[in-house]
Amino acid sequence: MLRSALLNVMVAAARKAGRTLKRDFGEVEHLQVSLKGPANFVTAADRKAEETLKAELEKARPGYGFLGEEGGLQAGSDPSHTWIVDPLDGTTNFLHGIPQFAISIALQRDDTIVAGVIYNPANEELFIAERGKGAFLNDQRIRVAGRQRLADAVICCGLPHLGRGDLAQFRKEFAVVQERVAGLRRFGAAALDLAWVAAGRFDAFWERNLSPWDMAAGILMIREAGGYVSDCEGGDQMLGRKSIICGNETMQREILALLKAANRE
């Protein structure tokens, strides 16, 4: 596949930040760790990766705005372009030596996500997508899974922990979904969960209380892989409502119906 100049910029930045993340992953016991809130860790690795990504992306596209998990929004001189970046998605996995974490970079043009990169430096899996041009894993085209029956499906979810989010609601939703599907998983890195749906590994994924940097690249990845995405109310305000359901057309619809049923109980 011939990669666009834009994707080349994004991939080069992700690989550069990925190299330092991988080094830090090997020496995680020496990392400075602080708490942003209950069970909300941030490490020197998160901050360093964000600095690298910001510097590389700014060098290639001066003037674009930058929204990063650690530094918040820094407006640029070009109001129509903003990078949306999670420098390390899955910090808790990272801290525990679990190689399920990623860098997520999306480019928003006006109100549309036009390109996305999700990169796991631990196994060098690189997911990329550009609007209208498909989604790829290590340069091979990916598609969402085709399964049509919940009974055959493996579903991934995120869950509230230590007082973050509505645990009672999650328990209801989990119970209803769990009864109907072949398997239910919680892997702990939302951007990768989305990339894995795009690659057909998970049949669907849902999570509440996510931030734009967790979802922006993944939403494009799933759509470009032929999948369907909604918020947990069935609308298209994923970033605004901070929630997501995705899968192929049937799976997205079925999980939405199950969550609605769970919340009526």
Binding site feature residues for Mg(2+): 69, 86, 88-89, 214
Angle (CA) 63-86-173 rounded to 5° is 135
- Which range binds Ca ion by CB under 5 A, 78-86, 124-132, 178-186, 250-258? 78-86
One of 24, 50, 56, 86 touching Ca ion (CB under 5 A):
86
Q: How far is CA 105 from CA 10, 32, 74, 102, 152, in A?
A: 7, 24, 15, 10, 32
Task: Pull the structure tokens for residue 115.
Answer: 């390109």
* Per-residue interface string for the shown chain with Ca ion, residues 35-74, x marking contact by CB under 5 A: ----------------------------------x-----
Smallest separation, CB 164 to ligand IPD (Å): 7
Tokens of 206: 């849902």
List 50, 56, 207, 214, residue binding Ca ion (CB under 5 A): 214
3-state secondary structure of 246: strand
Q: What helix, strand, coil percent values describe the chain, rounded to 5?
A: 40, 30, 30
Alpha helices in the chain (DSSP H): 5-26, 44-60, 91-95, 167-178, 190-198, 212-224, 238-241, 249-264
Q: Does 89 bind Ca ion (CB under 5 A)?
A: yes
Residue 231 in the binding site for Ca ion (CB under 5 A): no
Determine, following the binding rule CB under 5 A, whether residue 207 of this chain makes contact with Ca ion.
Answer: no
**147 or 238, CB closer to ligand IPD?**
238
In this structure, what token pair is assigned to residue 241?
């409502």
Distance (Å, whole) CA 32 – CA 103: 19
Name which of Ca ion, ligand IPD, none residue 158 binds, using a CB cut-off of 5 to 8 Å depending on partner kind. ligand IPD
> Minimum distance from CB of 173 to Ca ion (Å)?
21
Residue ranges binding ligand IPD (CB under 6 A): 69, 86, 88-91, 158, 188-190, 207, 209-210, 214
Pick 190 or 195: Cβ nearer ligand IPD: 190
